[in-house]
Structure 1
């Protein structure tokens, strides 16, 4: 995948297929430690131990219409290619936690991509699910919580078309304010601007 936001979209869709009612996406950019961490937590069905052991196998899937499940293996490969790794924890009936780490300024690290659009797609397309998104850059924090949004929106539902633009713009502006990156540093001299 060309952008890490597409990996996030794929992993969160797994959470939704597992009947999650709450999904948390947490991103950390730690410039001093040269670390990018992406964490997705859900309260879905979780996985039994036998499936958990096989989840990183690209030729294993729990979906009958597919012959392969590439989302988690692709994320693992992307993380390892950039000096990081992948950890998957899951407990049946409790949920799943996936953490991918990357060397932040690694030459081969894909850009984060348009997180505003990705989260807006997930939130407006799944209005019955609570989403919590947190992005940290060296102590600066942006947060979006759909439980709080519902209180502000009143009778306007999260699936309303106007809400998509609102979420997308809020995230983009919030990430810009905290200095979140969408492009990796190249040899320590380039740090790309946030997507418009």
Structure 2
């Protein structure tokens, strides 16, 4: 677990460095948040990143809905949970709920990806602008 934050360690054989987790952690910490990794052999790994939205050093989050759906649709056998908290209000969605609602349709189907991307986008916007 200690090696996860080391940019000069990777378990991959294609290259000698692994910058993903270290850069993700640096972004979270520099913006007043944190990155926590919990892992249990044979069970799975939970990665939780928090960012302080109003922090001056928070990098732009980019297109969060598309990023979330890219991770989910590219890894249909993995469990993902996305939680967005803004001013103590939250929206969350996870792949177990999605798969149950789909009733067997694949999560990587283009129409499903488009629908879920818009669902995430609309809920984030509602949280950000709902109190106005």
**Range class of TM-score, shorter chain:** 0.7 to 0.9
- Structure whose residues are more often strand by fraction: 1
Name the counterpart of 1:171.
Answer: 120
- Structure whose residues are more often helix by fraction: 2
Where in structure 2 are there 5+ consecutive unaligned residues? none
C-alpha change, 1:147 and 1:100, in structure 2 (3 Å) is closer
Q: Which residue of 109, 120, 126 corresponds with 1:160?
A: 109
Describe the superposition over 1:42-65 as per-residue Cα deviations: whole angstroms up to 9, x where unpaired. xxxxxxxxxx12221111111111
Q: CA deviation at 1:104?
A: 2.9
Q: Residues of 2 paired with 1:71 and 1:58: CA distance?
A: 8
Q: Residues of 1 paired with 2:79 and 2:38: CA distance?
A: 21
Q: CA deviation at 1:155?
A: 4.5
Aligned positions, number: 129
Q: Residues of 2 paired with 1:162 and 1:96: CA distance?
A: 29
Where in structure 1 are there 5+ consecutive unaligned residues? 1-51, 181-196
Higher relative contact order (CA 8 A, sep 6+): 1
Q: What is the DSSP-based 3-state SS (H/G/I as helix, E as strand, rest coil) of the residue aligned with 1:121?
A: helix
